[in-house]
Chains A and B, each alone.
Chain A
Amino acid sequence: MARNAKTDLLQGTLDLLILKTLALGPQHGWGISQRIQQISQDVLQVHQGSLYPALHRLEDRGWVASEWGVSENNREAKFYSLTRAGESQLEVETQKWERVTAAVASVLQVVS
Chain B
Amino acid sequence: MASPDRAHGRRFYPLMVAACVPVLAFLVLPTLVIVPMALTAGDLIVFPPQGISGHAFADYLGDQQWMQSTKLSFEVAVLAVAIAALAGTSAAVALHGKRFPGRGAVTGLILAPIVVPLVVLGLGDYLLFAALGVLGGWAGIGVAHGVLVTPYVYISVATSLAAGLNPALVRSARSLGARPTSVFRHVYWPALRPGLCAGAVLAFAVSFDEVVLAWFLQGPQSTTLPVRMFTAVQFELTPKIMASASLFIGLATLTLLAQALIARPRRDLV
Q: Is chain B a partner of chain A in the same complex?
A: no
The residues of B with any CB-CB pair to A shorter than 8 Å are none
